[in-house]
Chains A and B, each alone.
Chain A
Amino acid sequence: MYAYTKQDQRIVEERAAQYKDQTHRYLNGDLSDDEFLVLRLQNGLYLQRHAPMLRIAVPPGMLSTKQLRKIAEISRDYDKGYAHISTRQNIQLNWPALEEVPDILQELATVGMHGIQTSGSCIRSTTSDEYAGVAKDEDIDPRPYCEIIRQWSTLHPEFSMLPRKFKISVTGSPKDRAATQTNDIGIQVLSNAEGEIGFQVRAGGGLGRTPILGPVIKDFLPEKHLLTYLDAILRVYNRYGRRDNKYKARIKILVKAMTPATFAEKVEAEWLRNKDSATTLTNEELARIKAFYTPPHYEKLEASQVSFLEQCETNAEFHQWVLTNVSPHKAPGYSIANINLKACATAPGDISAENMELVADLADCYSFGELRTTHRQNLVLADVKQTQLFELWVELYKASLATANLGLITDITCCPGGDFCSLANAKSLPIAEEIQRAYKRIDTANDIGELELNISGCMNACGHHHVGHIGILGVDKKGSEFYQVSLGGCSTDTTSLGKILGPSFTADEVTGVVEKCVNVYLENRQDKERFIDTYRRIGINPFKERAYEKAN
């Protein structure tokens, strides 16, 4: 992963010092609430229902064990001893004191971490594929481009006061694990017929109030032009994005209003003015950044290790975990191990300080001292030898971190909801827990197979409910909490947005409705169809009829 130079380090330290001064001036009364709001948000600090929430950037979902241990330490010293993995691969602390945030940032800076641009109307921290660099299906490692974008977007002079937040995601695989179609800019790294690297660029995707899949505005942008082209998109958005209504201020509204074709022309014209300027990437810089992502020293191993296969045969629980939580690795004899933070009765994505330290130790022992966070709120050890999977699993099992449900109905993506967030219309965590209880038996969840269930506590869609095979959205009806259920969303392979099933349900009804929908799938599925495949084949009506049928 990328290692900070002295210059990177200096920028992070200077930002921490600047924020310390801003907090000081706010507490002295020299900055108004409204002024400080913009400044603190651009540094990841929200004021929530009970306490502030600090969002720490993890670009692009890559963490060193040193960094994770520091988060564990901070969560103990300044918070309640746990942290939360967000749906944009960042890490959130839910209970820091506003006055102590400058100290936390100073601590974070010692391990090259910060809260820069993790919220606010600016370019947010870039997300990517959690299997980047190791996935068997990957064409090109997207991470060097994420790092190039991180540097370009950090404290960008021109784009620090945008109409609204701005999210960029980059993938290098045909299977999109980075939700590139639902970001403000989605980038697919690819190579053309001549073997040159470039990017397919989408703009104007997003979830929230107006979910839209981002249209392609550039089929092939040559590698070296990445930043001048991004500059052009941002300049058009900064100039013409709506600023009169925050619900219509995202770039997706601009692209839709202009039409994607006109928007693309406008960007092209702007780009031609700045193309080949000094911001054009040099071969040296591309090589410098890529060098941080060269593969670690893998041993030369056989693809299928005999001892590993034996362990699978003799231990059913381990075998189950391997089937759900272990993904194929491009290096023979290695595997990608997913650590699911979705054990029943714990908030999805939450991890205690003790477990952070344990996972850091395991990553040092089994995965080259690095780990990743995922947009489905889990952790990944990306480079584990097959022969060591069993040892790893035993350690995880002892700490209740071996929940074998990756991609299953209980691997719920869920925002913190009304229990924490002041924007939420409804609670989301109790709903997640009830559904997890209903499908607690691994055989049942396993039989249902791949099913993305996403829950958001409000229209801001932090739980990405639009792209859940089953999506649940908290809504407010005359002061009461209700839940709208949608079906058919998908964020990987063929991306699609869910359709609303019908009138919303009470909290008591939601789990029952989910069960009815799952039963319709089980009764109708053919061969190896996943929930989403059956839904696409038979449509929404059978689900709707069952969900709303009157009890006899």
Chain B
Amino acid sequence: MKKLIKNREIIEDTWSTVEDIDSPSELPKGNIIVSLAIWQQYAETLKNREDPLGILLASDEEPEVIKNDLDQFAVIAIHFPKFADGRGYTSARELRTYFNYQGEIRAVGDVLRDQLFQMERCGFNSFAVREDRSIEDALNAFNDFSLAYQADTKNPQPLFRR
């Protein structure tokens, strides 16, 4: 099973991702993360499912569109098509700060060690590190800095108010 960093620990990833289906009967059992398109098309069916549900947002899909459904999702996965595409940082921050989402926010896609520290500050608490990279090494990223100037989702006060 794939590994994942969650709350700074390496765990087994129990979720599978479904991005494209022709009918809701194709949805597997267990923990699934579905694309925004699937959610929008089959929301009623998905709401009645017993197993936990997650949603996947592409880098150009804004949290605004799911803000009334947040209690449906145990996980919100945000996709990074390239590690240098920073839109996902804004999405995670909006979910935590504006919409008060308390569940898991997961970084998926081109997720690399050197971005984890800032991602965590924006509200991500789980990281599907790219599979060709050492997930153990990636854990070191959280110790890159011992303080920061800005307010963030971990430290709601900027340095000048602390």
Interface residue ranges, A against B (CB under 8 Å): 7, 10-11, 14-15, 18, 22, 30-31, 35, 38-39, 121, 151-152, 154-162, 235, 238-239, 243, 273-274, 277-279, 281-282, 284-285, 288
Is the pair A161, B84 in contact by a Cβ cutoff of 8 Å? yes
- The answer for the CA separation of A285 and B149 in the assembled complex, in Å, is 13
Instruction: Report the interface size for chain B: residues with CB under 8 A from the other chain.
Output: 33
Residues of B within 8 A of A30 (CB): 137
Out of A14, A156, A274, A282, name the residue touching B161 (CB < 8 Å).
Answer: A282
Residues of B within 8 A of A158 (CB): 86, 89-90, 93, 118, 122
Return 18 A-B CB contacts under 8 Å, by A number: A10-B146, A14-B146, A15-B145, A18-B145, A31-B114, A157-B148, A158-B90, A158-B122, A159-B89, A160-B118, A161-B83, A238-B87, A278-B151, A278-B156, A278-B157, A278-B158, A278-B161, A284-B160
Out of A22, A159, A235, A281, name the residue touching B114 (CB < 8 Å).
Answer: A22
**Interface status of B106 (Cβ within 8 A of chain A):** no
Is the pair B151, A156 in contact by a Cβ cutoff of 8 Å? no
Q: A11-B147, A14-B145, A152-B149 in contact; A238/B84 too (CB < 8 A)?
A: no
Out of B83, B118, B157, B159, name the residue touching A157 (CB < 8 Å).
Answer: B118
Residues of A within 8 A of B145 (CB): 11, 14-15, 18, 155
- The answer for the CA separation of A493 and B119 in the assembled complex, in Å, is 43
Residues of A within 8 A of B83 (CB): 35, 38, 161
Is the pair A239, B84 in contact by a Cβ cutoff of 8 Å? no
Residues of B within 8 A of A238 (CB): 86-87, 89-90
Q: A38-B83, A235-B90, A273-B98 in contact; A155/B158 too (CB < 8 A)?
A: no
Of A160, A282, A284, most B-chain CB atoms within 10 Å: A160
Say how far B30's CB is from chain A's closest CB, in angstroms. Answer: 33
**Interface status of B4 (Cβ within 8 A of chain A):** no
Is the pair A151, B159 in contact by a Cβ cutoff of 8 Å? yes
Known: A154-B149, A158-B122. 19 other contacts (CB 8 A): A7-B147, A10-B146, A10-B147, A11-B148, A14-B145, A15-B145, A155-B149, A157-B118, A161-B86, A161-B115, A235-B90, A238-B86, A239-B62, A243-B87, A273-B98, A278-B156, A278-B158, A279-B151, A282-B160
Q: A11-B145, A278-B157, A278-B158 in contact; A152/B150 too (CB < 8 A)?
A: yes
Would you list the 4 A-B pairs with minimal beta carbon distance, nearest first? A161-B86, A157-B121, A285-B160, A157-B118
Residue interface bits B137-153, CB-to-A below 8 A is 1, else 0: 10000001111111110
Residues of A within 8 A of B87 (CB): 238-239, 243
Q: A18-B144, A35-B83, A158-B122 in contact; A279/B114 too (CB < 8 A)?
A: no
- The answer for the CA separation of A283 and B101 in the assembled complex, in Å, is 32
Say how far B90's CB is from chain A's closest CB, in angstroms. Answer: 5
Interface residue ranges, B against A (CB under 8 Å): 62, 83-87, 89-90, 93, 97-98, 112, 114-115, 118, 121-122, 137, 144-152, 156-161
Say how far B130's CB is from chain A's closest CB, in angstroms. Answer: 10
Residues of A within 8 A of B151 (CB): 277-279
Residues of A within 8 A of B159 (CB): 7, 151
Is the pair A35, B149 in contact by a Cβ cutoff of 8 Å? no
- The answer for the CA separation of A38 and B158 in the assembled complex, in Å, is 26
Is the pair B98, A14 in contact by a Cβ cutoff of 8 Å? no
Residues of B within 8 A of A155 (CB): 118, 145, 148-149
Residues of A within 8 A of B93 (CB): 157-158
Say how far A473's CB is from chain B's closest CB, in angstroms. Answer: 29
Of B97, B112, B148, most A-chain CB atoms within 10 Å: B148
Residues of B within 8 A of A285 (CB): 160-161
The residue in chain B whose Cβ has the minimal distance to the Cβ of A277 is: B151
The residue in chain B whose Cβ has the minimal distance to the Cβ of A31 is: B114
Q: A157-B118, A161-B89, A243-B85 in contact; A151/B161 too (CB < 8 A)?
A: no
Residues of B within 8 A of A10 (CB): 146-147
Say how far B11's CB is from chain A's closest CB, in angstroms. Answer: 23
Say how far B116's CB is from chain A's closest CB, in angstroms. Answer: 11
The residue in chain A whose Cβ has the minimal distance to the Cβ of B160 is: A285
- The answer for the CA separation of A11 and B149 in the assembled complex, in Å, is 9
The residue in chain A whose Cβ has the minimal distance to the Cβ of B149 is: A151
Residues of A within 8 A of B86 (CB): 158-162, 238
Q: A11-B147, A157-B121 in contact; A35/B112 too (CB < 8 A)?
A: yes
- The answer for the CA separation of A30 and B144 in the assembled complex, in Å, is 17
Is the pair B156, A157 in contact by a Cβ cutoff of 8 Å? no
Is the pair A157, B152 in contact by a Cβ cutoff of 8 Å? yes
Say how far B151's CB is from chain A's closest CB, in angstroms. Answer: 5
- The answer for the CA separation of A55 and B102 in the assembled complex, in Å, is 41
Residues of A within 8 A of B112 (CB): 35
